[in-house]
Amino acid sequence: MQMLQLIVSHTPIWVWLVLAFLVVRGIKAMKPGETSLGKLAIVPVLFTAWGMWSINARYAGSWQAWALWLVGIAAGAAIGWALLRRLQLRVEPTTGALWRGADYSLLPLLLVTFLVKYGFEVALAMSPELVADTGFRAAYLMISGGFTGIFVGKFIRYVSASRGLVGQGKVMPAA
């Protein structure tokens, strides 16, 4: 228990703010409603930036690190795309507003992604020598990239679906 208190107390405030933001986004996604591609881009951009920052901080200049992360992103993007296979979207032709159905996968994915990334970061903070461990490095980069890729794939699915609907103003699957 003391270790947990130590970990939590040494976590920067911005990390807790990110967690609060993710929870709010996940809860909002559970209700169908109007959105924009800009709003839908926030989560993939956030995790991409966090991943890029982490790689630069630990593996600056390592093309192998970037390659592992990008392989993870590609695999995750395929999963994210598939998660929204039943996506329902409608574009309002007069305003261009995007109406999306409820996304019940977002909140659990956000929480799991946060916990996994947080766990890796805590492990690295407590044992900096893990940066040089090949197995840990591969797992960290591919899993981190994979979770980021899920959000990237979901966003690409939204973009693809919305472009197919522009001017139609009707509901149809994103496939």
Per-residue model confidence as pLDDT tens digits over 109-156: 999 999 999 999 999 999 999 999 999 999 999 999 999 999 999 999
CA 151/CA 9 separation, integer angstroms: 29
Kind plus residue range of the DSSP H or E element containing 75 = helix 63-83
Strand 172-173 vs strand 33-35: parallel, antiparallel, or unpaired? unpaired
Residues 82-101 have pLDDT tens digits of 988 877 778 777 777 788 88
Query: Residue 168's pLDDT band (boundaries 50, 70, 90)?
Result: low
Which pLDDT does position 5 carry in this prediction?
A: 83
Kind plus residue range of the DSSP H or E element containing 91 = strand 88-91
